[in-house]
Amino acid sequence: MAFTQDELQSLNTIMEQKLLVQRRELERTFDLRLQAMRREFEQRVITLHHDLLHTVSQRLNDQHTRTHEVIQQKIDSQQTTFIQALEHAFELHQQQQQQVYEDTIEHALAAQLLAIEQMMQRSMTASANTEFATPYTIDGQPEFDTIEVQAEIPWEELAVLVDQALEGRVDILQKTVLAALKELGQTLQVQIKTLQLSLSQASISPATDTLYSSHESAAATQHTAKSIERLEELIEAMQVAMTSNSALISNRLYHHQQLPLERAHPTQDTRSHLSDLSSYHTYPSVPEPVGENE
């Protein structure tokens, strides 16, 4: 069976139209499938991105919390150790100062009472016309004149000298404590700055690092304030202790003054101070404490 040229042309035209329709349907189907796959892929990428951000932020927060706790424990332990060492040193220094003050006052009182006893003995052996308060000339008895000048020191003046010596020691101790307090503040500031610098370098998120640095600075400032308050309480306790020591020393001066010579000087071990006192023509001063430089 043979086809004519027109029939073949018509058949080709029909086939081309059908193929064109099928191609368009296939293209439309592929486009729809590609769009659906693209939307699904984008949704999965967005979900994965959110999950990743949440996981990373949570891990960073946990790591920052653990680091903060460890650093806070170290700072607390250092502050506690420093304050305990300062309290122990202050107690030892206070005990040494109190012992030195007591020894100094005992020596001064012994020297004064021994000089008075010597003067009274020589005055009793002197002539009846010589008065007790009349000083001897330097050509006659220079040693007795020196003893008489030293024996005329009133108890009030001796108490003033002792108070001045105590005030000097208290001032030195206060300066030492204030210097230690200033050094503690500088040390804490350096530690806080170093901590902030290390945390800022190790942090990944800038916002989280800023929040953590501000929180760390506030906590460090609070602990520094607590340490300063505790040191201020130590200074107040030191002042109260020094005041009580001054009152105790004044009390002992008064009671020692009221004792008779036999009870005040049961032995003659302190008579060696008389030769040292006779070389001075002025009022005796309170000896310098031996343990001050310690």
pLDDT in tens, 128-184: 445 444 444 444 444 444 444 444 566 667 777 777 777 777 778 778 877 877 787
Show the domain range for 4. Answer: 1-40
CA distances from residue 188 to 93, 155, 272 in whole angstroms, order as listed:
25, 49, 54
Amino acid letter at 225? A
Please give the Cα distance from 169 to 176 (Å, whole number): 11
State the pLDDT confidence band at 256, using cuts at 50, 70 and 90: low
Cα–Cα nearest to 105, from 263, 245, 248, 253: 253
In a domain, 53, yes or no: no
Please give the Cα distance from 68 to 217 (Å, whole number): 11
What is the DSSP secondary structure assignment for residue 292, as one 8-state letter?
Answer: G
Check whether residue 31 and residue 71 sit in a common domain.
Answer: no
Check whether residue 128 and residue 267 sit in a common domain.
Answer: yes
In a domain, 55, yes or no: no
Check whether residue 162 and residue 251 sit in a common domain.
Answer: yes
Q: Do 158 and 108 meet the contact criterion of CB atoms below 8 Å apart?
A: yes
Domain count, the chain: 2
CA distances from residue 195 to 67, 86, 215 in whole angstroms, order as listed:
11, 25, 12
Check whether residue 73 and residue 177 sit in a common domain.
Answer: yes
Check whether residue 163 and residue 71 sit in a common domain.
Answer: yes
Query: What is the model's pLDDT at position 116?
Result: 77
Check whether residue 208 and residue 108 sit in a common domain.
Answer: yes
Amino acid letter at 149? V
Check whether residue 109 and residue 229 sit in a common domain.
Answer: yes
Q: Do 93 and 238 meet the contact criterion of CB atoms below 8 Å apart?
A: no
In a domain, 50, yes or no: no
Check whether residue 213 and residue 172 sit in a common domain.
Answer: yes
DSSP result, 246-284: HHHHHHHHHHHHHS-HHHH-SSSGGGGHHHHHTT--S--
Q: 3-state class of 229 per DSSP?
A: helix
Contact residues for 248 (Cβ-Cβ < 8 A; gap 6+): none
In a domain, 83, yes or no: yes
Query: What is the model's pLDDT at position 235?
Result: 74
State the pLDDT confidence band at 104, using cuts at 50, 70 and 90: confident
In a domain, 231, yes or no: yes
Contact residues for 277 (Cβ-Cβ < 8 A; gap 6+): 111, 115, 146, 147, 150, 284
Check whether residue 8 and residue 87 sit in a common domain.
Answer: no
Q: Do 117 and 261 meet the contact criterion of CB atoms below 8 Å apart?
A: yes
Please give the Cα distance from 154 to 112 (Å, whole number): 10
Cα atoms found within 13 Å of the Cα of residue 173, Cβ hemisphere only: 29
In a domain, 158, yes or no: yes
Check whether residue 151 and residue 35 sit in a common domain.
Answer: no
In a domain, 243, yes or no: yes
Check whether residue 139 and residue 240 sit in a common domain.
Answer: yes
Check whether residue 35 and residue 77 sit in a common domain.
Answer: no
Indicate the pTM of the whole model.
0.30
In a domain, 58, yes or no: no
